[in-house]
Structure 1
Amino acid sequence: VLVVVSLGKTLYPTAYWCWPEGLMAINISCLFLPEKTCASGWRMFSCSCYLLSEKTGSWDEGRSDCRDNGADLVVIDSSEEQNFLATIINDNTWIGLTDHGTEGLWKWVDGTPLTLANWAKNEPNNGGSRHGEEDCVHIRDADQRTWNDISCTVAMKWICKKIP
């Protein structure tokens, strides 16, 4: 649980609690806790920090880089998070979704199954056998930031996510 206190221009301080269901704000009479922020270069959205890579690499290289930074490839939990990501990416970008274990069974890097999807039209298609196995997913720069399955060896940017 992340608690942030804001004195702002309100009469009472406001505390923000981050729950799995989202952000909840309540007025409180007095509570002083350090504010959680993201490190330089990271962007905060809904209680998590995000880092868009400046370099490119394979899906595995992206995941390794995220882990080196105490994070992992992004697991997208809501349409609001998807919309946020769409505002910060400017190239095809790896996310933490793969069917590497079992073809057609999409799982996030944290082991959770895919429930919310934003696939491009006719995706996922495993490349129709033209390009070999397409086991990793990226957000397309074009096409309204929808998802596409592609070979994990293609070089592109990635986005990391962690809780501060």
Structure 2
Amino acid sequence: MGTDVRDETRNATSLLESNLMAAAKDLRNETRKATRTLERNLMAAVNEIYKRITALEQVLGWYRAGNYNLYKVFTERANYTESLENCEKYGARLAVDGIIDATILRDLIDNLINSTDYGTYVGLDDRAKEGTFMWLSGKPLIAGEVRWNSGEPNDDLGGGQDCAYIRAEAWNFDDHYCETKLNYICEKMA
């Protein structure tokens, strides 16, 4: 009789362990499924938020380029210093990254700058040291990084042209007097 009780206890314990293991496996599978569903739903929500933000940016006149930075051309002409200050008011700076990258620059010219009929300041100047153009990011201009207009930069053959801009008629770069009022393009980092 004692053996029967032990056998029944062993069988009941084994059955209980088997049921618990099956329940734990089912719980793991259900947790994985719920996690995947949650991840999909979260990604869909993030994508929807991104679409709405992009639409709002466009309404406000900002353009999101392929580098995910935002750009806006301002046609209320300003000198270079005013352009710097105006960009800062928007939490931005005169464009640098989108200007250095030739693909992004082409995109910006096609979608923003091309619609203007006047030169556009970018974040490049040689105000600190004549002849050494520096990006606002602090990096020096590398030879061939931008396409200068023929004979440029020339500092007007006498001095004083320290601020770079994109010429409206050729979309090449030129140096100009920083006091000259031009369009300007601001860049917000992604």
With the length of structure 2 as denominator, give the TM-score of the two structures. 0.66
2:99 is the alignment partner of 1:73: no
Moved more, 109-118 or 95-104: 109-118
The C-alpha deviation readout for 1:51-107, integer Å capped at 9, x for no partner, is: 110300101101100001000000022111221222221121000000000111111
Is the 2:163–2:178 Cα contact (8 Å) retained in structure 1?
A: yes
- The 5-angstrom pairing of residues 93-108 of structure 1 reads 93-108=120-135
**Secondary structure of 1:110's match?**
coil
Which contiguous aligned blocks of 4+ residues in structure 1 show a shift greater than 2 angstroms? 36-39
User: How far apart in 1 are the matches of 2:85 and 2:70?
Assistant: 17
The C-alpha deviation readout for 1:9-45, integer Å capped at 9, x for no partner, is: xxxxxxxxxxxxxxxxxxxx83613426362210110
User: How far apart in 2 are the matches of 1:54 and 1:102?
Assistant: 29
- Looking at secondary structure, tell me which structure has more strand per residue: 1
User: How much identity, in percent, do the aligned residues show?
Assistant: 29
**Secondary structure of 1:102's match?**
coil
- Offset of 1:163 from its aligned partner? 2.2
**Secondary structure of 1:123's match?**
coil
Aligned twin of 2:71? 50
Is the 2:100–2:146 Cα contact (8 Å) retained in structure 1?
A: no
Max radius of gyration: which structure?
2
Aligned twin of 2:148? 119
2:177 is the alignment partner of 1:151: yes
User: How far apart in 1 are the matches of 2:80 and 2:103?
Assistant: 24
Letter in 2 for 1:63: L
Q: Aligned residue pairs: how many?
A: 133
Is the 2:65–2:108 Cα contact (8 Å) retained in structure 1?
A: no
With the length of structure 1 as denominator, give the TM-score of the two structures. 0.75
- The 5-angstrom pairing of residues 12-31 of structure 1 reads 30=40
- Offset of 1:126 from its aligned partner? 0.4
User: How far apart in 1 are the matches of 2:108 and 2:172?
Assistant: 11
Root-mean-square deviation (CA, aligned residues, Å) is 1.6
Where in structure 1 are there 5+ consecutive unaligned residues?
A: 1-28
The C-alpha deviation readout for 1:116-156, integer Å capped at 9, x for no partner, is: 11111110000001xx410000100012x000001000011
User: How far apart in 1 are the matches of 2:186 and 2:69?
Assistant: 10
Is the 2:73–2:183 Cα contact (8 Å) retained in structure 1?
A: yes
